[in-house]
Amino acid sequence: MPELPEVETMVRDVRPALLGQRFLDVRLSHSDVLRGVTRPRLIKALTGATVRDVTRRAKHGVIHLDQHRFVLQPGMTGNLLIYHRPLEAAESRYAVLRARLGSGAEFVFRDIRRIGTLLLLDQRGWEAYDRALGPEPLDPGLTVQRFTEGLQSSSSAIKKVLMDQRRIVGVGNIYANEALFAAGIDPSKPARKVSLDGYARLFRETRRILQAAIDSEGTTFRDYRTGTGQPGNFQLELQVYERQGERCRRCGTRLSATHDIDARITVFCHRCQK
């Protein structure tokens, strides 16, 4: 599932081709991806609109238009892509939204499982959307104090709290597993019992890992592709995720796995993580 590094990569890849361009011909294959907007209203708002900016918020891509922000939430298998040539049949099969640009390139939101969602927000809608989300972990202005305050008030497992988008955004299952291993914290530990030292390590490691994953253009196991259609490379650097039963790279113990924390797979080293 695309988390912060994957969405950041897609946004960086499609941004140059979109900036300053107009959407000329907008086609939507399915309406079930729309939230709070109808197909006619979305197509009317996009057609002829000029792209002023393309950014990321949390795990979502945001296309800034004059009147609206068009928010693309990739969900499980969503991809933001740019094509400078006609799409092949296999490529157009899962293209949920296609928009031809003034330059002749084509912007595509592709989503195999169609769990992703598309939102069209006016200024007030954007403010409400933005307010409901926690701070950005890579914001240079985010302090360890604010990070800690956002997480430590909960008695839920630290892994669940780290993935709670109202407390801190962008971290999903892959990077929560990795950050907790790197910080030496047991993923099932209640957030309020993690020490201040533990939060300082978790803050540092979460930022380091997210940045390293962006530098590697994200993690690809199955469907995720960059905005140019290439797989990412961070799967080669993962320490625990998808390594259950293999040896801990730090101490040699066999890594454990559980689904008990949040129904998703948690992989951890019971010796290194306390």
Catalytic residue numbers, as ranges: 2-3, 59, 264
Residue listed under structure tokens 């799409």 = 87
**Cβ 185 to Zn ion, closest distance in Å?**
13
Is residue 270 close enough to count as binding Zn ion by CB under 5 A?
A: no
Is residue 204 close enough to count as binding Zn ion by CB under 5 A?
A: no
Q: Is 54 helix (H, G, I), strand (E, B) or coil?
A: strand
- String of contacts with Zn ion for each residue 157-186, x by CB under 5 A: ------------------------------
Is residue 269 close enough to count as binding Zn ion by CB under 5 A?
A: yes
Give the integer Cα–Cα distance in Å for 211 and 114.
28
Is residue 272 close enough to count as binding Zn ion by CB under 5 A?
A: yes
Rounded to 5°, the CA angle 130-45-78 comes to 60
**Cβ 241 to Zn ion, closest distance in Å?**
15
Question: Is 182:175 a contact under the CB 8 Å cutoff?
Answer: no
- The DSSP call for residue 36 is S
Contact pick of 248, 266, 267, 268 for Zn ion (by CB under 5 A): 248
- The DSSP call for residue 16 is H
Dig out the tokens for 135 from the structure: 């701070």
Give the integer Cα–Cα distance in Å for 56 and 245.
35
Is residue 271 close enough to count as binding Zn ion by CB under 5 A?
A: yes
Contact pick of 12, 22, 64, 250 for Zn ion (by CB under 5 A): 250
Give the integer Cα–Cα distance in Å for 70 and 192.
37
Q: Which is nearer to Zn ion, 14 or 272 (CB)?
A: 272
Q: Is 144 helix (H, G, I), strand (E, B) or coil?
A: helix
Give the integer Cα–Cα distance in Å for 166 and 155.
15
Count residues near Zn ion (CB under 5 A). Answer: 7
Q: Which is nearer to Zn ion, 91 or 242 (CB)?
A: 242
**Cβ 249 to Zn ion, closest distance in Å?**
8
Q: What is the DSSP string of 186-255?
A: -TTSBGGGS-HHHHHHHHHHHHHHHHHHHHTT---SSS---TTS---SGGGG-SSTT-TTSBPTTT-PBP
Q: Which is nearer to Zn ion, 176 or 248 (CB)?
A: 248
Q: Which is nearer to Zn ion, 101 or 248 (CB)?
A: 248
Is residue 251 close enough to count as binding Zn ion by CB under 5 A?
A: yes
Q: Is 179 helix (H, G, I), strand (E, B) or coil?
A: helix
**Cβ 181 to Zn ion, closest distance in Å?**
8
Is residue 254 close enough to count as binding Zn ion by CB under 5 A?
A: no
Q: Which is nearer to Zn ion, 72 or 248 (CB)?
A: 248
Instruction: Specify the stretch interacting with Zn ion by CB under 5 A; choose among 8-16, 144-152, 154-162, 253-261.
Output: 253-261
**Cβ 247 to Zn ion, closest distance in Å?**
8
Which residues contact Zn ion by CB under 5 A?
A: 248, 250-251, 253, 269, 271-272
